[in-house]
Structure 1
Amino acid sequence: MNLLKRVRGWISSIAIAFVISLVIGIFLIQPYRVDGHSMDPTLHDNQRVFVSKLSHTFSYFPDYGDIVIIDSRVDRDRSFRDDVLDNPIFQLLLNRSNRNFYIKRVIGKPGDVLELKDHRVYRNGVPLDEPYLNEVMSESADEQWVVPDDHIFVMGDNRNNSQDSRVIGFIPLDHVLGKKL
């Protein structure tokens, strides 16, 4: 009988720890691994970062220049189920990868007019000061976007090697999974 109580105690302790780690990972903080070179020189391939999930939990916009984790599948709605299954514990248990998650920098918020011209990014007619860039953008064509309501525009720091809003489009607020700490 004493052994049964001990086993039950261990199982309940493990279950409580599992639930607490899920709550922390879904709502508060989560580790991510940088996959690729789109954020060079700021972040490097395979670097680990911690992300605050508070902006996602409470649905508020990140600031200009914040580095955020996004779900690049902008053509589909996200649900709470996605938040649960995207937790590292479930990723490990289900043997899934998070290749749909990109880490990028916030360049534009709703209502902003963004332009690419003369190998630079302009927000509302003002060229951005971007000391984190390593090289000049090789974009040759002038382009312009107006960020719609409830969306942001993101770009990688390695502008010449980045799948970002120039390719995948505007990022809905619910696809911004968190902000790098």
Structure 2
Amino acid sequence: MSSVVEQTADRPVAPADGRRRPGTVLQGIALALGLLLMVGGFALIAIDYRPYNIPTPSMHPTLQAGDTVLARKVGGGAIGRGDVVVFRDQAWGGELMVKRVVAVGGDTVATSGDNRRLTVDGQPVDEPYLAAQGRQGESFSVTVPQGRLFVLGDNRVGSLDSRSHLEVDGGTVPVAAIEARVEATVMPFGRMGLLGRTAAFDGFAGPRASQPGPLEPAAYATVAGAALILVTSAVGGVAGLARRFRRGRSS
């Protein structure tokens, strides 16, 4: 009889008042926090952003044909020079297009010199995002009406953009046609990353390229939450196996 009492006394006994072990409580808190981060980050991305496919190389090298991008849903009033935007203009056939804004209402945008360098209000623009030989093309000079935007592809020799529609409102598109601002490439995996903000137009008065939205912190929150859930579940599983092993040895 005494030997039975001694063996059972060595076994872990649950608290008589029904309280959980501290480790179990911490595990529950970690799982709840991970779930909150993962769901919150994913929900923010799903609400604020939309995926778009890039069908042509007109934005090379910034965006490649076949890329899938995430663009934040914004109005045209939130757009500045240098932003890469998704828009749909019925005067251009009503198709979704992705281009870079280079001039806004009131600007006079033109090309000058043998290399057709872009100027805004007579001031040359240094465009580091252009494809090689990207400044070729016909000369033009347009004063952008208020409430409209002048857009170009980064691949200037292979882009149908405002230069191709100069006969209609000087090739400009209405700010109301803007659907979203591109902020990241998500596919293919090897090209995944944020679209860097350009400083090409920072020397000009008026709206400049926008600061990134909440995509980066939301993505980090989603990944961190998922990782926390996985790690906590794994640690909890190992701890449970260890407890069962100790109980088996003590029985």
Q: Same fold (TM over 0.5)?
A: yes
- Is residue 49 of structure 1 aligned with residue 69 of structure 2? yes
Q: For 1:144-174, what per-residue CA distance to the aligned partner results, in whole angstroms no more than 9, with x for missing partners?
A: 0000011000000000110111113211011
Alignment partner of 1:177 out of 176, 179, 183? 179
Alignment partner of 1:164 out of 140, 161, 164? 161
Q: Could you list the runs of 5+ residues in structure 2 that have no partner in the other structure?
A: 1-42, 166-170, 184-251
**Alignment match, 1:33:** 53
How far apart, CA to CA, are the structure 1 residues paired with 2:105 and 2:91?
A: 16
Aligned-residue RMSD, C-alpha: 2.2
Superposition pairs for residues 119-138 of structure 1, below 5 Å? Answer: 119-136=116-133, 137-138=135-136
Q: Aligned partner of 1:44: which letter?
A: Q
Q: Aligned partner of 1:177: which letter?
A: E
**Alignment match, 2:198:** none
Q: Aligned partner of 2:131: which letter?
A: N
Q: Aligned partner of 2:98: which letter?
A: I
**Identical-pair percentage:** 30
C-alpha change, 1:142 and 1:61, in structure 2 (3 Å) is: same
How far apart, CA to CA, are the structure 1 residues paired with 2:132 and 2:180?
A: 27
Q: For 1:20-60, what per-residue CA distance to the aligned partner results, in whole angstroms no more than 9, with x for missing partners?
A: x9xx87x732110001010001100010001111x22xx51
How far apart, CA to CA, are the structure 2 residues paired with 1:110 and 1:65?
A: 14
Superposition pairs for residues 1-181 of structure 1, below 5 Å? Answer: 28-53=48-73, 55-56=74-75, 59-74=76-91, 100-118=95-113, 119-136=116-133, 137-139=135-137, 141-168=138-165, 169-181=171-183
How far apart, CA to CA, are the structure 1 residues paired with 2:69 and 2:117?
A: 28
Q: Which has the higher strand share?
A: 1
Q: Aligned partner of 1:180: which letter?
A: V
Contact 1:61–1:173 (Cα < 8 Å) also in 2 = no
**Alignment match, 2:212:** none
Whose Rg is larger?
2
C-alpha change, 1:75 and 1:101, in structure 2 (3 Å) is: closer
Deviation for aligned residue 1:117 = 1.6
Q: Which has the higher helix share?
A: 2
Report how many residues are paired.
Answer: 132
Q: Aligned partner of 1:38: which letter?
A: S
Q: Aligned partner of 2:117: which letter?
A: R
How far apart, CA to CA, are the structure 2 residues paired with 1:35 and 1:44?
A: 8
Moved segments of 4+, more than 6 Å: none
Q: Could you list the runs of 5+ residues in structure 1 that have no partner in the other structure?
A: 1-20, 77-98
Deviation for aligned residue 1:75 = 6.6
For normalisation by structure 1, the TM-score amounts to 0.67
Contact 2:131–2:156 (Cα < 8 Å) also in 1 = no
For normalisation by structure 2, the TM-score amounts to 0.49
